[in-house]
Each structure stands twice: as C-alpha cells, then as structure tokens.
Amino acid sequence: MTAPGQGSKSYWQFGRESTWATAVASTKRIAPLSMGVEAVIKQEKDLSLHGGMVARDIVKVNERAEGQIETYLTYNEQLMLIDALCGTATFGANGGSTTGAGPFTHVFTTKELFNSFTHQLIEGNIPAGKCQRATGSKMVSLELAGEAASIVRATWGVVGKQKETDQTPTGALSAATPLYVLTSHAVLDDGTSDVGGSDVILKSFTFSMQNGCVAREDCGSAYILEPMRAGPEMARLKFRREFRTKVLMDTWIAGTNLAFSLTFTSSPSSFKLEAANSRVVSFKNGIDDMDICYVEAELEAVYTSGSPDYGIKFTVVNAQATITT
C-alpha cells in the first residue's frame, strides 16, 4: 500500500529566474505554514447539438499555476519575496536597495516590472524524493495579519505559467532559523495626532496589498503569457483599537489624507510598512454592552500631488548583507 503524504514532510524553496518561465535551481528554502499553489485548468464544455442528452465533451483550453503560501512573518529570509512583490526596474535584478554595514537597511517601493521565481513545492513527499514545480511564478499579493499576543502571519499570493509534477528538487538547502515578528513588537501610526503611546491600544490588524500584476491569456498558447502590471497597486491597512479619542473619527468625517505606518522592532531588527498618503475608507466605533469601546478603521494608500511615486514602502533592517543572501 502506498503511504499517504504527510504535511510534516512538506517544505517550500525557490530561485529567481533570469528568463521568465525558464526553470532554475532553488537558492532559498522557507518553512511554510500551508501551501496551496494549484494547477488551474480552464475548461470549456462542448454544448453542440449531437443527438444526445449529455454534453459531448469538456475541453481543456488554458493552464496556469495559482494560489497562496502562508508563512510566519520574519525579520530575516523574506527579502526576496518582498522584492518580488514590489517590483524592479530591470528584470532579473533587485528592485530594492540596501545600505549599511551590519545591520543592513533594505528599502522596497513600487516598480514597473516584476521578477519571477521557480517554486519547488515539496507536498507531503509525494512522489518520494520529488517535488511539484511552478515556473514563471510572480508574487501578486501579500496579506499580513495579527492579533494581540501572537506571531504575525504572512500570506503570499502567486501566479505562474504552470505546475509540473514529479520534478527533482534542489538539494542541500536548509531554512534559516526564523527571527519571528511578534505583534508585541508593533507600533501603529495611523497618521493622526494619536501616534503610539497610551492612546493607541492596538487589538488586531490586517494589511493587504495587490500589486497590479495579473495573468494574461492569448490565442497562441496553451498557457498564460507572462504576468505583468495591468492595473494599479492597491494596499489597505485595517485595524481595531480601543476607542480613546475622537481624532480618527474627525478625520473620517472630514475626508483628510493621512500618512500611516506599522512598525515592528526587535533590536537590531525591524520591519516597517508605510504609506505617504492614504484615505480612511471605512470607520466604525462600536459599543458592545459594558465592554471597552472600540474603533475599527481601514485606510487605503493613494497617490496625491506631491507624494512619492509609490503606494507602500517597506523598510527591513536585519543582518543580511544583500537581498538575495
């Protein structure tokens, strides 16, 4: 009897491609919480009238790889993923910049092009010693979520050319010891005068970003074309905090622009995401019986005159000398 796949035998590794969808060996291994990158098959049902009462056939017309990989957010080992999410001016090269001499500061902002990866997905060690491979894969979204007294979780959205089975993974890679980003490390600046301190008691948050990179179909291929930017970057920060002042409510009513940031620090490492301009797109202050009153708000990054030409800026400080280290 064939043994079933075990989640404990699963892992994820990847390498950055120099040519889109041309497979490369992996250079980085990360331990995921879950993996769901699937072979997405587009089909069309043949409903032609053929003298019978059942559809004549179902025809495969296109294919791509698509899905999500969930990890813990860490201060180390995820620079290549953030770089791929934000983009690059030159395909195959870093989009972010690195300065410093240890610790190092890595900065990522919106760029036009997006690098691609070859993902090696070891899914339960089925088949034994083999992996599934997703070539031409681009990072298209990121969600960061946390609540009080937890580790921040990151969900990375992926779209690629295809998912191939029974491939041989790159050997001798090991995941680095993670430096976890904890919610206890967080400081929220929502852009109002309630900056940090006792007036900002953060209970939970969700940051979501779609970078505008989408799959493309054409009439000459059984697979998608290279995913490219075909829309605006959209990023939102949603949070719940104790209701202590009316400052954010006044901002919501007035329709005032805000510059927000969410920073995590565990010296000497730090992780910061920020928007130079944003609008409050939803606001609710709730009262649940005799419990502490709360505020739920959501801010969306926008471009306005005079702002930097990006929606979200990531700044990561860690011991890695390069983005690809």
Residue 111 has a pLDDT of 94
Question: Rounded to whole angstroms, how far apart are CA atoms 111 and 286?
Answer: 39
Q: Above pLDDT 70, what percent of the chain?
A: 97
Task: Tell me if residue 254 falls in helix, strand or coil.
Answer: helix
From residue 233, alpha-carbon distances to 66, 78, 207, 260 in Å are 19, 20, 13, 16
Q: Tell me the pLDDT tens digit for each residue of 265-304.
A: 999 999 999 999 999 999 999 888 899 999 999 999 998 7
Residue 307 reports pLDDT greater than 80: no
Residue 154 reports pLDDT greater than 80: yes
Residue 47 reports pLDDT greater than 70: yes
Q: Tell me the pLDDT tens digit for each residue of 182-221.
A: 999 999 999 887 766 677 899 999 999 999 999 999 999 9
Task: Tell me if residue 230 falls in helix, strand or coil.
Answer: coil
Instruction: Report the 10 Å Cβ neighbour count for 287.
Output: 10
Q: Above pLDDT 90, what percent of the chain?
A: 89
**Mean pLDDT, to the nearest integer, of 95-104?**
96
**Mean pLDDT, to the nearest integer, of 34-41?**
97
In contact, 159 and 210? CB cutoff 8 Å = no
Residue 160 reports pLDDT greater than 90: yes
Question: Rounded to whole angstroms, how far apart are CA atoms 187 and 292?
Answer: 21
Question: Rounded to whole angstroms, how far apart are CA atoms 23 and 28?
Answer: 14
Residue 193 has a pLDDT of 77
Determine if the pTM surpasses 0.85.
Answer: yes
Beta strands per DSSP E along the chain: 11-16, 28-30, 34-46, 57-72, 97-100, 104-108, 117-122, 131-147, 153-160, 162-167, 186-189, 202-210, 213-216, 225-229, 234-242, 258-266, 269-286, 294-301, 313-318
In contact, 88 and 111? CB cutoff 8 Å = yes
- Could you say which DSSP state residue 80 is in? H
Residue 238 reports pLDDT greater than 90: yes
Query: Which residues are bridge partners to 262 per DSSP?
Result: 188, 273
In contact, 99 and 3? CB cutoff 8 Å = no
**Mean pLDDT, to the nearest integer, of 153-181?**
95
Residue 172 has a pLDDT of 83
Q: Which residue has the higher pLDDT, 323 or 303?
A: 323
Query: Which residues are bridge partners to 163 per DSSP?
Result: 134
Residue 309 has a pLDDT of 74
Residue in the block written with tokens 């074309």: 225
**Mean of all residue pLDDT scores within the chain:** 95
Q: Tell me the pLDDT tens digit for each residue of 63-92.
A: 999 999 999 999 999 999 999 999 999 999
Amino acid at 259: A
Amino acid at 118: T
Residue 226 reports pLDDT greater than 80: yes
**Mean pLDDT, to the nearest integer, of 29-42?**
96
Residue 66 has a pLDDT of 98
